[in-house]
């Protein structure tokens, strides 16, 4: 099951895995069994994804494809989910 989540409510969540497709960006989050579709404040769910690795850890930096809003989420692991 896919649950929609506003990007404004994503603070503090840790991304375990992700995939992107026609339905938008879907995330697997630590502590949640369901897949989450991240929605921007503009209502869209298509994001440009950039993953960054630093000595402090991994981060996903997301930019809304429609309005350009930015979201950063901590990331664990290094696996992109298969479609």
- State the pTM of this model: 0.82
The full DSSP string for 38-81 is EE-TTS---EEEEEEEETTEEEEEEEETTT--EEEEEE-S--BP
Could you tell me if residue 12 is inside a domain?
yes
Number of structural domains found in the chain: 1
- At 7, is the secondary structure helix, strand, or coil? helix
Task: Give the per-residue pLDDT at 83.
Answer: 45
Domain that residue 58 falls in: 2-75
The pLDDT value recorded for residue 56 is 78
Query: Would 82 be classed as within a structural domain?
Result: no
pLDDT digits (tens, 9 = 90+) for 1-11: 789 999 999 88
**Residue 81: inside a domain:** no
Are 16 and 76 spatial neighbours (Cβ–Cβ below 8 Å)? yes
**What's the CA gap between 53 and 18, in Å, rounded?**
16
The rounded distance, in Å, linking the Cα atoms of 44 and 36 is: 14
Flag whether 80 is in a domain.
Answer: no
Flag whether 64 is in a domain.
Answer: yes
Residue 83 domain-assigned (yes or no): no
């Amino acid at each position: 099951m896919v649950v929609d989540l506003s990007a404004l409510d994503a603070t503090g969540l840790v991304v375990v895995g992700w995939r992107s497709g026609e339905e938008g960006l879907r995330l697997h989050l630590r502590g949640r069994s369901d897949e989450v579709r991240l929605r921007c404040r503009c209502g869209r769910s298509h994001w440009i994804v950039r993953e960054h690795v630093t000595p402090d850890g991994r981060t996903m930096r997301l930019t809304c494809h429609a309005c350009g809003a930015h979201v950063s989420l901590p990331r664990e692991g290094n696996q992109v989910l298969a479609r």
